[in-house]
Structure 1
Amino acid sequence: MIRYIIIQFVFVTVGFTHTAYAQTLDTLLPTVPMDYTTFISTVGQKNIAYAAEQFEIAIADAAIESAKIFPDPQLAFGWFDNGQRRMDMGYGFTSELTWTLELGGKRKARVDLARNQAQLTRHLLEDYFRNLRADATLAYLSAIQQRMLLEVLNNSYQQVKQLAAADIVRYKLGVISQVDARQSKLEAGTLLNDVYAAEAQYATAIAALSLLTADSEQAIEPVGDFSSFDRELNLPDLLVTALNNRADLKAALQQKHVSASVLKLAKANRAIDLDLSIGASYASYARNIIAPTPSFNTINTGVAIPLKFSNNKPGELRTANYARQQADHLFRQIELEIQTEVTQAFYSYQSAKKQVRQFNTGLLTEARAILDGKIYSYQRGETSLLEVLDAQRTYNEVQQSYYQALYGYAESLIALERASGTWDINIQ
């Protein structure tokens, strides 16, 4: 009875050590707690890659202004000298202003094309943020998962460390053999290595969050768990929503408009353009004794009409027509891909939900009860150390599988909402 009381005292003493270690572990990394809402808002505001993509909007708007420009006029000056100094043939000056008059609606077609391309750029940027938001959320959840796995291993290490410390006392009291004492100490050391590896994985996951927020001065510690991912969803409604909301489908539809604008511009380019000109010239007095001529001024206007022999080779027009047909096929293909993607994501989510519910039926509680029972029996000398360690490993595996199932559950919901073009994720 005295030996049993001493062993229980050792377990309690080491339990205080576990609490102190856990508190120290939390402060190993220079982290700053950040909730999910703040994190995703920071990603939208500070992510460098997203900021770079936003310049595409400004570039597209500038292209609209460029498309509105009329052709520049040309101003020419000339001077001539008849070259007959001995015969006093005189000299003169010429000037001419020319301007190209575009016909066939070329300018309007250019502007329409630039505006459609700008709208396409906006849809592509929206789709970029859709994927960025989902990827950032997965990174945030991955960090939460790594934190939970670290806690599992740390708790297991502390428990086995406590067991090893008690086994030293039991060995000295002659209750167990030296081999059992060494075995529990070895198991504690092995688990400590696992804790170190989990710490590295957690730190790596946190570093990924800093990359997304473009913050190199502090590390972000995620706040929350996996308790807010239960949804009751309907596949037909999700399919309709996806076809209405997906930014990449909007972009594919806009690409059809762009292709139509390109075809319209190609047709307009086949129309002739007129070069209008107006000029003036001055010729000085010619004092030639044979044919003296007074100085005079002349004014001339003209129209130049190009001969569009290139219209016999409609390569540009055929290329634009094929591109329009290609855009139609790509739009239908993306529609089918979205429907397939939503369907697959829906069934994956339903499967993940069933897996989580299976754990919630009592697997964790049962594994914990078995471990506690084995430890109690071991303290009383009724079971072997190997049975305790085996129960500990089983409990660890169940916990790790549970957290992986929770992450898979959340991941499948994010994939489903990414596919359907909806978003109501809120990690608490």
Structure 2
Amino acid sequence: MKLTSYILSLALVTGITFKGQAQVDTLSLNSKISVVQYLSRVGKENLGYAAEKYNVNIAEAGIETAKIFPDPQFSFGAFDNQQSKLKLGQGLTFGLGTTIELGGKRSARINLAKSQTELSKALLQDYLRNLRADAAIAYYNAIQQYSLLKVQQYSYQMMKQLADADAIRYKLGAITETDARQSKLEASNLQNGLYQNEADWKNSLIKLGAYLGKKNADTLLIPDGDFENLGRDLNYQTLISNAQSIRADAVAALNSKAVAERSLELVKANRRIDLGVNAGLQFNGESTNEIAPTPYHRTANIGFSVPLKLSNHYKGDLKSAKFTIKQAGVQYDQVLQQIQVEVTQAYFNYTAAGKQVQQYKDGLLAEGKKILAAKVYSYKRGETSLLEVLNAQRTYNEVQQGFYESQSNYASALIELERAAGIWDIK
């Protein structure tokens, strides 16, 4: 049931004309937006999510980095035998060398980078899962704040009209001055509460804009929705099973295990030797000395180098990688356990919230409305005291506030359940 029609029907019952007059001041209200439209924009415009997307781009760039081969080395040199009296020659040397990686180092690096990319994608999805839920809760909180504002507006308007009527009745001698002052005081007190409710509503709208990365806080979006269509027929055992398979943080934890395993493969590959290959040319100028004249000539050479892997005696890197795999496995089991706890708790909270809302709909609201209408009618006829009207009005206010809070809690409970279960069908 939408709040506007509800307030209007209540005004007809009590014989009071309601005038909605929330002051907007310098803030401008934009067009209304549905929850589906709002969450779609959050996914496109949220600054935090946009920043998280770069982690995937960075990880994908890491795959390109992992494909790099060792760079070859070019060397150049010149020599002079420094024997001018013996007329020994000078010469030049050129060399080219490179390292040939053995043991599958390059493929291990690439596989690790790919696993890290998959992990980044899973973490991005988990970020979106939480962002979407937080934004949806903020959306329904804005609806709740608007509902509470309307309740306070109605209470103030009712008391203001009673105070105006009491001022006339006092002049006519129908009531005492104390009763007239009391009703005026109550109206002023409700007006103060109205100011705070209006501020709470505006703040909730500003928070909606913050999820969209809006820089102009003076332009507010208005939720176009209610607390209907929150009922779901769900089995929490099925929810747990599905959540442990599809929830983004479970997928991320599984990818963390894959990253740890790929890291071990790379550690093992790095412990294998690499082959160094080098080739060169040497140009020797002629030597014209009389003892051992030598004509101009060239010399070619080729060689190989193999590192002596004495460092492999120490196996700290292997042990660290193996422990990381075991740690990732335990963390994955912990995530599954946490999912089970979160889904179960969220399911029970959702069930309880639904029962609370239904209790209000089954009689609490209607009973409070009837009592207030009867007290106002009797007071206008001089058959009851102002105190009884105030008590009835406060009680009905509390019932209405409790109703809208329970509806907001019901919406939040559904969102938390779907967040925990890794599903989403909020519309």
SS in 2 for 1:224: coil
Q: CA deviation at 1:25?
A: 3.8
CA distances 1:317-343 after superposition (whole Å, capped 9, x unpaired): 111111011111111111111011101
Q: Is the 8 A contact 2:22 2:198 kept in 1?
A: no
CA distances 1:200-253 after superposition (whole Å, capped 9, x unpaired): 111110000111112233211111111121112111111111112101000100
Give runs of aligned pairs for residues 29-178 of structure 1, distance below 5 A: 29-32=27-30, 33-178=32-177
Q: Which moved more, 1:74-83 or 1:236-245?
A: 236-245
Q: CA deviation at 1:373?
A: 0.7
User: What is the distance in 2 between the residues matched to 1:47 and 1:212?
Assistant: 6
User: What is the distance in 1 between the residues matched to 2:282 and 2:215?
Assistant: 70
SS in 2 for 1:361: helix
Q: How many residues align?
A: 412
**Structure 2 unaligned runs (5+)?**
1-11
**Structure 1 unaligned runs (5+)?**
1-10
Q: Is the 8 A contact 2:281 2:298 kept in 1?
A: yes
Amino acid at match of 1:284: G
User: What is the distance in 2 between the residues matched to 1:247 and 1:309?
Assistant: 43
State the match for 2:336 in structure 1: 335
Q: CA deviation at 1:73?
A: 0.5
Q: CA deviation at 1:257?
A: 0.6
User: What is the distance in 1 between the residues matched to 2:26 and 2:236?
Assistant: 45
User: What is the distance in 2 between the residues matched to 1:28 and 1:286?
Assistant: 96
Q: Are residue 404 (structure 1) and residue 405 (structure 2) matched?
A: yes
User: What is the distance in 1 between the residues matched to 2:321 and 2:24?
Assistant: 62
Give runs of aligned pairs for residues 282-361 of structure 1, distance below 5 A: 282-361=283-362
User: What is the distance in 1 between the residues matched to 2:358 and 2:64?
Assistant: 58
SS in 1 for 2:68: coil
Q: CA deviation at 1:26?
A: 6.6
Amino acid at match of 2:369: R
Amino acid at match of 1:31: L
Amino acid at match of 2:313: N
Q: Is the 8 A contact 2:36 2:426 kept in 1?
A: no
Alignment RMSD: 1.5
User: What is the distance in 1 between the residues matched to 2:424 and 2:27?
Assistant: 32
User: What is the distance in 2 between the residues matched to 1:238 and 1:15?
Assistant: 49
User: What is the distance in 1 between the residues matched to 2:213 and 2:355?
Assistant: 37
Amino acid at match of 1:318: K
Amino acid at match of 2:63: I
Amino acid at match of 1:317: L
Q: CA deviation at 1:276?
A: 0.3
User: What is the distance in 1 between the residues matched to 2:358 and 2:345?
Assistant: 20
User: What is the distance in 2 between the residues matched to 1:344 and 1:389?
Assistant: 40
User: What is the distance in 1 between the residues matched to 2:23 and 2:155?
Assistant: 14
State the match for 1:364 in structure 2: 365
SS in 1 for 2:97: strand
Q: Are residue 264 (structure 1) and residue 262 (structure 2) matched?
A: no
Amino acid at match of 1:280: L
SS in 1 for 2:362: coil
SS in 2 for 1:268: helix
TM (normalized to structure 1)?
A: 0.94
State the match for 1:209 in structure 2: 208
**Residues 72, 28 of structure 1: CA spacing in aligned structure 2 closer, same or farther, 3 A cutoff?**
closer
**Residues 354, 120 of structure 1: CA spacing in aligned structure 2 closer, same or farther, 3 A cutoff?**
same
State the match for 2:8 in structure 1: none
SS in 2 for 1:85: coil
User: What is the distance in 1 between the residues matched to 2:197 and 2:22?
Assistant: 15
Q: CA deviation at 1:27?
A: 7.9
State the match for 1:3 in structure 2: none
Amino acid at match of 1:224: G
SS in 2 for 1:360: helix
* Identity in percent: 49
Amino acid at match of 1:170: R
User: What is the distance in 2 between the residues matched to 1:224 and 1:380?
Assistant: 40
CA distances 1:84-103 after superposition (whole Å, capped 9, x unpaired): 22221111000110010000
TM superposition outliers: structure 1 runs of 4+ over 6 Å? none
User: What is the distance in 1 between the residues matched to 2:213 and 2:391?
Assistant: 44
User: What is the distance in 2 between the residues matched to 1:231 and 1:37?
Assistant: 18
CA distances 1:117-171 after superposition (whole Å, capped 9, x unpaired): 0000000000100000000000101111000000000100000001101101110
TM (normalized to structure 2)?
A: 0.94
User: What is the distance in 2 between the residues matched to 1:27 and 1:396?
Assistant: 26
**Residues 153, 28 of structure 1: CA spacing in aligned structure 2 closer, same or farther, 3 A cutoff?**
farther
User: What is the distance in 2 between the residues matched to 1:214 and 1:305?
Assistant: 57
State the match for 1:7 in structure 2: none
Q: Which moved more, 1:80-89 or 1:327-336?
A: 80-89
Q: Is the 8 A contact 2:108 2:265 kept in 1?
A: yes
**Residues 28, 355 of structure 1: CA spacing in aligned structure 2 closer, same or farther, 3 A cutoff?**
farther
